[in-house]
Amino acid sequence: MRVYIEDTDAGGIVYYVNYLKFMERARTEWLRTFGYQHYTLADENFLFVVQSANVRYVTPARIDDQLDVQVVLKKLGRASFQFEQRVLRGTELLCEADVRVGCIRGDTFRPAPMPVTLYQKISQEISA
Protein backbone atom coordinates (compact mmCIF):
# COMPACT_ATOMS: atom_id res chain seq x y z
CA MET A 1 0.00 0.00 0.00
CA ARG A 2 1.43 3.37 -1.00
CA VAL A 3 1.20 6.52 1.16
CA TYR A 4 -0.28 9.49 -0.71
CA ILE A 5 -0.42 13.16 0.23
CA GLU A 6 -4.06 12.75 1.29
CA ASP A 7 -2.86 10.33 4.00
CA THR A 8 -0.51 12.84 5.62
CA ASP A 9 -0.89 15.74 8.01
CA ALA A 10 0.65 19.22 7.87
CA GLY A 11 3.94 17.77 9.12
CA GLY A 12 4.20 15.41 6.16
CA ILE A 13 3.69 12.21 8.13
CA VAL A 14 0.76 9.80 8.05
CA TYR A 15 -2.09 11.15 10.17
CA TYR A 16 -2.57 8.70 13.04
CA VAL A 17 -6.16 7.69 12.23
CA ASN A 18 -5.17 6.70 8.68
CA TYR A 19 -3.33 3.66 10.02
CA LEU A 20 -6.76 2.37 11.03
CA LYS A 21 -7.96 2.94 7.46
CA PHE A 22 -4.97 0.98 6.14
CA MET A 23 -5.80 -1.85 8.55
CA GLU A 24 -9.45 -1.83 7.48
CA ARG A 25 -8.41 -2.17 3.85
CA ALA A 26 -6.13 -5.09 4.72
CA ARG A 27 -8.92 -6.86 6.62
CA THR A 28 -11.24 -6.30 3.65
CA GLU A 29 -8.69 -7.93 1.33
CA TRP A 30 -8.27 -10.76 3.84
CA LEU A 31 -12.05 -11.33 3.75
CA ARG A 32 -11.91 -11.41 -0.07
CA THR A 33 -9.52 -14.38 0.08
CA PHE A 34 -12.47 -16.37 1.43
CA GLY A 35 -14.72 -15.28 -1.42
CA TYR A 36 -16.66 -12.62 0.49
CA GLN A 37 -17.02 -8.87 0.09
CA HIS A 38 -18.64 -6.42 2.50
CA TYR A 39 -21.32 -5.41 0.01
CA THR A 40 -22.46 -8.99 -0.62
CA LEU A 41 -22.60 -9.66 3.11
CA ALA A 42 -24.61 -6.44 3.56
CA ASP A 43 -27.02 -7.69 0.89
CA GLU A 44 -27.51 -10.74 3.16
CA ASN A 45 -28.07 -8.39 6.15
CA PHE A 46 -24.67 -9.04 7.78
CA LEU A 47 -22.26 -6.26 8.74
CA PHE A 48 -18.82 -6.39 10.35
CA VAL A 49 -18.04 -3.60 12.80
CA VAL A 50 -14.94 -2.76 14.81
CA GLN A 51 -15.69 -3.26 18.50
CA SER A 52 -12.28 -2.21 19.76
CA ALA A 53 -8.84 -1.27 18.51
CA ASN A 54 -5.81 -1.03 20.77
CA VAL A 55 -3.16 0.74 18.68
CA ARG A 56 0.53 1.31 19.37
CA TYR A 57 2.36 3.79 17.16
CA VAL A 58 6.11 3.22 16.86
CA THR A 59 7.49 5.46 14.12
CA PRO A 60 5.82 7.52 11.38
CA ALA A 61 5.30 6.72 7.72
CA ARG A 62 5.83 9.48 5.17
CA ILE A 63 4.52 10.39 1.76
CA ASP A 64 5.38 7.85 -0.97
CA ASP A 65 6.38 5.13 1.51
CA GLN A 66 5.41 1.63 0.44
CA LEU A 67 3.73 -0.11 3.36
CA ASP A 68 2.91 -3.72 4.10
CA VAL A 69 -0.18 -4.15 6.27
CA GLN A 70 -0.36 -7.57 7.88
CA VAL A 71 -3.47 -9.33 9.16
CA VAL A 72 -3.20 -12.26 11.56
CA LEU A 73 -6.36 -13.88 12.89
CA LYS A 74 -5.79 -14.57 16.59
CA LYS A 75 -9.24 -15.81 17.55
CA LEU A 76 -12.36 -16.81 15.65
CA GLY A 77 -15.75 -16.79 17.34
CA ARG A 78 -19.15 -17.46 15.81
CA ALA A 79 -19.90 -13.72 15.81
CA SER A 80 -16.46 -12.13 16.11
CA PHE A 81 -12.85 -12.03 15.01
CA GLN A 82 -9.79 -10.95 16.96
CA PHE A 83 -6.92 -9.75 14.79
CA GLU A 84 -3.33 -8.74 15.31
CA GLN A 85 -2.31 -6.20 12.67
CA ARG A 86 1.03 -4.64 11.86
CA VAL A 87 2.04 -1.87 9.48
CA LEU A 88 5.60 -2.18 8.19
CA ARG A 89 7.90 -0.25 5.90
CA GLY A 90 10.16 -3.02 4.68
CA THR A 91 11.03 -4.80 7.92
CA GLU A 92 10.57 -1.72 10.12
CA LEU A 93 7.52 -1.80 12.40
CA LEU A 94 5.56 1.46 12.21
CA CYS A 95 2.34 0.59 13.99
CA GLU A 96 0.61 -2.43 15.50
CA ALA A 97 -2.89 -3.06 16.79
CA ASP A 98 -5.15 -5.62 18.36
CA VAL A 99 -8.52 -5.28 16.65
CA ARG A 100 -11.78 -6.98 17.59
CA VAL A 101 -14.48 -7.12 14.90
CA GLY A 102 -18.05 -8.23 15.50
CA CYS A 103 -20.76 -9.47 13.18
CA ILE A 104 -24.14 -7.76 13.47
CA ARG A 105 -27.48 -7.88 11.67
CA GLY A 106 -27.94 -4.87 9.42
CA ASP A 107 -31.60 -4.43 10.34
CA THR A 108 -31.23 -4.55 14.14
CA PHE A 109 -27.55 -3.70 14.72
CA ARG A 110 -27.49 -6.57 17.21
CA PRO A 111 -24.76 -9.24 17.38
CA ALA A 112 -25.36 -12.23 15.15
CA PRO A 113 -23.43 -15.32 14.10
CA MET A 114 -21.62 -14.80 10.83
CA PRO A 115 -22.78 -16.81 7.80
CA VAL A 116 -22.06 -20.50 8.38
CA THR A 117 -20.19 -20.92 5.08
CA LEU A 118 -17.84 -18.04 5.91
CA TYR A 119 -17.20 -19.40 9.40
CA GLN A 120 -16.48 -22.86 7.97
CA LYS A 121 -14.07 -21.52 5.33
CA ILE A 122 -12.12 -19.52 7.89
CA SER A 123 -12.11 -22.44 10.37
CA GLN A 124 -10.71 -24.76 7.69
CA GLU A 125 -8.02 -22.23 6.79
CA ILE A 126 -6.79 -21.75 10.35
CA SER A 127 -6.89 -25.51 10.98
CA ALA A 128 -4.67 -26.22 7.97
In Å, how far are 27, 82, 83 from 52, measured between CA atoms?
Answer: 14, 10, 11
**Is 9 a catalytic site residue?**
yes
Contact predicate 3/64, CB 8 Å = yes
Of the candidates 7, 9, 43, 64, the residue annotated as catalytic is 9
Phi, psi of 30 (to 5 degrees): -60, -45
Which positions are catalytic?
9
